[in-house]
Amino acid sequence: MTGIERATPRIAARWGCPALLLGVVLATLVLGAQLAERNRGRPASGPAPDFELRLFTGESIRLSDLREQVVLLNFWASWCPPCRAEAPDLQALHEDFASSGLRVIGVNMLESSPAKAKAFIDELGIGYANGEDIEQRIARLYRVEAPPESFLIDRRGQVRHVYIGSIRYAIINGKVESLLAEAA
Amino acid sequence: MKYRSPLRYLASLTLVFVCAWLTAAQASDNAVNQVAQRMYCPVCENIPLDECLTSACQEWKEEIRSQLVAGKSEQAIIDSFVARFGDHVVGVPVDPLLRALTVLLPLAATALALGVGVFTFRRFAAGKAQPATPAKYEDSAAAYRQRVEADVRARR
Amino acid sequence: MLAELGLAALTLALAGALYAIVACLYSVRAGEVRWLQSGRNAALLTCPALLLATGALAIALLTEQYQLSYVYQASDPGTPTLYRFTALWGAQRGSLLFWSLLMSGFIAGAILLNWRDERRLMPFAIPIMMASLAFFVGLSLFIENPFERWWILVDMPAEQQAVSSALIPPRAVPPSEASLQAGAEGMNPLLRHFGMVIHPPMLYLGFVGFTIPFAFAVAALASGDLSNNWLRATRRWSLLAWLFLSLGLILGGRWAYDVLGWGGYWGWDPVENAAFLPWLVGTAFIHSVMIQEKRGMLKVWNMLLVIAAFSAVMFGTFATRSGVIDSVHSFARSEVGFPMLAFWAAMTLLALALLAWRWRQGALRDERQFAALLSRESLFVLNNVIFIALFVAIFWGSFGLPITSELFLGKEVTIGAPTFEFYVVPLFIAMYILMGVAPLAAWGGMALSRLGGMLRLPLLLTALSVLVLTIIGTDLLVAALGYGVVLFAAFVALVEVARGVAARRRLLGENPLRAFVALFGRNQRRYGGYIVHLGVTVIGIGVIGSTIFQTEEQHTLNRGETVTIQDYSLRYEDFLRAQAVDGRLMNIASLVILRHGDEVARIRPRIDEYPQLPMSIAGAHSTLENDFYVLLIRGDRQRATFRIYINPLVNLVWWGGLLLILGTAIAAYPKAQR
């Protein structure tokens, strides 16, 4: 047996186990850190994650195309009673502020069938844009746990406020007005 | 106008019953649970759908029921949910890569652990031939006696 | 006042811990024992300091001081007194403080009881223990402070006025008592159960308990005293930690069975698994450590296991407390993730680096070699292979795969019970078989024929019971074989105890009872171990019965209607709605259970409506043979839907658990010093 042939397994035997253990620890560390970073919580400030939403009406909208408008992003489901409660207020916001640059976008999540979502929209006479969040991609981007949750995004695409649970016109309209008053 | 043929009345009644029976037979709570057992709650993670009481789950179970009534198979229903909500609605991933990872890695790990064990034995059995203490076959009855005798000595 | 007291005590504990680290390490350098004594005293001080802090929080909870945001979060005016107290560990911040208290208690015990014998290890063991403690106390002080209070900043606009802060902000006034009481969030309804009163403390005791063996192992590596001293110092501590962890797991199962309402006790949920993982490594350790004690082998491996047990505890804590893994019982998302991960990595790497250093030095060389393939030590190694395989598989399923998938494939996955059962069942079968064979094998090696001879009687008994089971109607062959595998281990344990008793009678002429007691007294670990094995067998029988033979049906009944399932009948008697003292609305169904036509019990399954979520509380009629377990799904006075489970032998899981605890207690009970 030559020296080299003997040396290779010896190096493996000497360093294999420590290297393996170190590798496992480091891999776990990196994965854990990435995950902890992702799960820190809802993006309560900073740039709003971009997404594309296919609306029930057929066309698609992309958040980054809505720069210079204030966006109220609302996650909802037809089975959730607070969503039903807040829908008229959202509709009123849409009616009052659409002309000054507010876009209300409804993201329908965890719905058992699209038909139910459409029935909800028709029943409550909702006029703002709505679409289904396929595979919960958008909800995951925004770390939504359960509907309803809403995010208010300013004209520069920054998340400014997060609302967990149902929102009320009287509580949010002042906020919307002040964001609309800001320059893009 | 008020007159109704008893036969027609009976027929419609039968029809109602048959329909009720059919839907009941095809989508009893047990049948729904059968499917729901294989799925997981969409909002509260890691709770099987059949055990979950939230309104989201009730809604999903109703959807399962209506798909069952429409004659879809158990697998087709689950596939339709996976297509819309992703792999996390089921307890075993559907995606082939994920499925392979689910199954293969633990098997590989077990094989590796066993391999290391076997390697250890072989190294000890063959490599360093001379054991530090010669193997002695312990007579178990004698071992008991020794132990008990040691106890007796200790008591004195 | 309580908040200030708590803060001061917490700060004192942190200072004490940090001082202890410095003083003990300096004592090594200076070679002066008084520094070590000073460090020890500081380390011992942390326990009363944390007791004071925890006491302050407990009093604040009991006296409803809602200005403390923790009290505001974890209780409300409707919370009953008992749960007001258990709110101490009902949410993240309180439970972190409570965790620190338990850890300091364990540490104080370890320092006091091992001070005389293990002086050489102390200069390193104390700093390791104190570093762990300081980390958790630091989390409580700087990130998750349970003593934060609500303040109203009078200068700010209305919506930014309320802040929660540990220190009093400038120009701040306390909020009004009425607004605090009205806003208090109240306890998570899932935690309002008697099981929650003692399940978390037991589990935490198990978790923090592994700090002690870890600290002594690392101390052995650091000091170079690699004799069996560290094992002697930690053997009972690791058994104790294992005992509490087992108890915590069993109580957790019971809580899930009673409260989570799915007719089962183990759901392979990541948080359950996070507690199960250290248990698996711990089990591997308490077996393989015997090889080191008796034969001086596997020193590196045992070190690795101790490190892995502590590491698993810390990783599990990270995963469940940082919100990385969502689950029924994980805590809300929190900022503790990064610090915990960093702490986990630092401790693990430090320990591994020390181990690698000593290993390279050759200080951990085995004193003996494996002599024979068939020996107690080789079977114990096989036991370790099984437990490690279980560990890897369960770790991968609960953390590895979901994390990898989310990060690299952008997909969220749920790994559910079927996946875990797929790889866990064969490994458990192997474990039970080994549990039967290994105790019979002799140290050093033995002939196969001799082992065969010793196995004859237990095998015969096993075959007989499988035969009896098939005849009396276990129609599933799989189940009968499963019972056989599990029973085999029990028969081995029983036969061994009987032989021990017989040997004593023959040689000493003792009466059976005396011989039995003496047998346990003389060799606690061995015979305590047999009781643990018996307990595991009884649990196994319960698990097989309640999973393979579980019956589950859903029925909608009109009032007065009866449904029959197997030899039980269920009559829907009445339905009522009531409001409990804490404000929740209860929907209660009243049912009569008949067996063979005779009324055996009345049960009242109910749904409690909390603002956060509805909860289904099962009604059960429990016998040793089975549980008739009913959940109310929905209903009114006319009709109600029930989910009905018959869980055969499920009670054996709890009884087996008790046996396991008893056996561990016997094995760990300190011998009188002679």
pLDDT at A18: 77
Contact C171, C156 (CB under 8 A): no
Count of alpha carbons within 13 angstroms of residue B149, beta-carbon side:
6
Q: What share of chain A is helix, strand, coil (3-state, %, to 5)?
A: 50, 20, 30
How many beta carbons lie within 10 A of that of residue C600, not counting itself? 14
Q: Which of A28-32, B150-154, C107-111 has the lowest mean pLDDT?
A: B150-154
* CA-based nearest residue in chain A for residue B65: A112
Average pLDDT (A144-154) is: 86
**Inter-chain residue contact B140 with C454, CB threshold 8 Å:** yes
Judge whether residue C375 has pLDDT over 80.
Answer: yes
Which stretches does DSSP call E strand in C541-597? 551-558, 562-565, 568-579, 585-595
If you count residue pairs, one on A and one on C, with CB atoms under 8 Å apart, how many are there? Answer: 53
Strand order in the sheet with C149-153: C162-165, C149-153, C172-173
Shortest distance, CA A33 to any CA of chain C (angstroms): 7
Give the single-character DSSP code of C68. B
**Inter-chain residue contact B135 with C607, CB threshold 8 Å:** no
**Inter-chain residue contact A79 with B84, CB threshold 8 Å:** no
Judge whether residue A104 has pLDDT over 80.
Answer: yes
Shortest distance, CA A93 to any CA of chain C (angstroms): 20
Phi/psi at B60 (5° precision): -65, -40
pLDDT digits (tens, 9 = 90+) for C133-171: 999 999 999 998 999 998 888 877 666 677 888 888 888
Contacting residues of C for A136, CB less than 8 Å apart: 412
Q: What angle do CA A169, A146, A76 make, to 5 degrees?
A: 50
**Inter-chain residue contact A39 with C322, CB threshold 8 Å:** yes
Residues contacting residue C321 through CB under 8 Å, at least 6 positions apart? C92, C96, C330, C331, C334, C336, C337, C340
In chain B, positions 41-70, which contact chain A (CB-CB < 8 Å)?
42-43, 55-56, 58-60, 62-63, 66
Give the single-character DSSP code of C265. S
Of C270, C415, C552, the CB nearest to B102: C415
Residue C312: pLDDT band (50, 70, 90) is: very high
CA distance C203 to C207: 6
CA distance C356 to C362: 10
**Inter-chain residue contact B135 with C443, CB threshold 8 Å:** no
Average pLDDT (A151-158) is: 90
pLDDT at C182: 80
Residue B42, both tokens? 């969409």
Contacting residues of A for C304, CB less than 8 Å apart: 21
Nearest to C413 by CA among B36, B94, A139, B83: B94
* DSSP 3-state of A151: strand
Of A79, A134, A136, the CB nearest to B56: A79
Instruction: Find chains touching chain A: ≥3 CB pairs under 8 Å.
Output: B, C
In chain B, positions 115-154, which contact chain C (CB-CB < 8 Å)?
116-117, 120-121, 124-125, 128, 130-141, 143-145, 147-149, 151-152
Residues contacting residue B62 through CB under 8 Å, at least 6 positions apart? A112
**Inter-chain residue contact C411 with B87, CB threshold 8 Å:** yes
**Inter-chain residue contact B137 with C442, CB threshold 8 Å:** yes
pLDDT at A168: 86
* CA-based nearest residue in chain A for residue B77: A112
**Inter-chain residue contact C315 with A25, CB threshold 8 Å:** no
Residue C553, both tokens? 């049906």
Residue C324: pLDDT band (50, 70, 90) is: low
Q: Which region, left, alpha or beta, applies to residue A79 given φ > 0 means left and ψ of -120 to 50 means alpha?
A: alpha
Contact C391, C280 (CB under 8 A): yes
Q: What is the mean pLDDT of chain B?
A: 71
pLDDT digits (tens, 9 = 90+) for C383-404: 999 999 999 999 988 888 888 8
Of A25, A31, A136, the CB nearest to C348: A25
Judge whether residue B55 has pLDDT over 90.
Answer: no
Residue A2: pLDDT band (50, 70, 90) is: very low
Instruction: State which amino acid sits at residue B156.
Output: R
Of C349, C352, C403, the CB nearest to A35: C403
How many beta carbons lie within 10 A of that of residue C85, not counting itself? 16
pLDDT at B127: 47
**Inter-chain residue contact B143 with C508, CB threshold 8 Å:** no
Q: What is the mean pLDDT of chain A?
A: 84
Phi/psi at C538 (5° precision): -60, -40
Contact C228, C608 (CB under 8 A): no
Q: Percent of chain C scored above 70 by pLDDT?
A: 95
**Inter-chain residue contact C556 with B51, CB threshold 8 Å:** no
Q: Which of A109-118, B93-102, B143-152, C413-422 has the lowest mean pLDDT?
A: B143-152
Contacting residues of C for A28, CB less than 8 Å apart: 315, 345
* CA-based nearest residue in chain B for residue C518: B151
**Residue with structure tokens 């008793």?**
C501
**Inter-chain residue contact B43 with A110, CB threshold 8 Å:** yes
ipTM of the prediction: 0.74
If you count residue pairs, one on B and one on C, with CB atoms under 8 Å apart, how many are there? Answer: 187
Judge whether residue B138 has pLDDT over 50.
Answer: no
Instruction: Find chains touching chain C: ≥3 CB pairs under 8 Å.
Output: A, B
What string of H, E and C letters represents the secondary structure of C632-665? EEEECCCEEEEEEEEEECCHHHHHHHHHHHHHHH
Shortest distance, CA C394 to any CA of chain B (angstroms): 8
Judge whether residue C540 has pLDDT over 80.
Answer: yes
How many beta carbons lie within 10 A of that of residue C567, not counting itself? 10
**Inter-chain residue contact A110 with B85, CB threshold 8 Å:** yes
Count of alpha carbons within 13 angstroms of residue C192, beta-carbon side:
20
* DSSP 3-state of C290: helix
Contacting residues of C for A34, CB less than 8 Å apart: 407
B13: part of which helix (H) or strand (E)? Answer: helix B6-26
Contact C412/A at CB under 8 A: yes
Contacting residues of A for B128, CB less than 8 Å apart: none
pTM (global) more than 0.80: yes
Judge whether residue C559 has pLDDT over 60.
Answer: yes
Average pLDDT (A50-71) is: 90
Would you call C488 exposed, middle or buried from its count of C-beta atoms within 10 A (0-12, 13-18, 19+)? Answer: buried
Contact B49, B33 (CB under 8 A): no
Contacting residues of B for A79, CB less than 8 Å apart: 55-56, 58-59
If you count residue pairs, one on A and one on B, with CB atoms under 8 Å apart, how many are there? Answer: 31
The ranges assigned to domains in chain C are 1-192, 447-548+658-668, 551-648
A interface with B, Cβ–Cβ below 8 Å: 77-81, 110-113, 116, 134-136, 145-146
CA distance C346 to C329: 27
DSSP states of B87-109: GGGBSS--SHHHHHHHHHHHHHH
In chain B, positions 50-89, which contact chain C (CB-CB < 8 Å)?
51, 53-54, 86-89
Nearest to A20 by CA among B109, C312, C377: B109
pLDDT at B149: 65
Give the single-character DSSP code of A48. P
Contact C614/A at CB under 8 A: no
Q: What is the mean pLDDT of chain C?
A: 88
Contact C607/B at CB under 8 A: yes
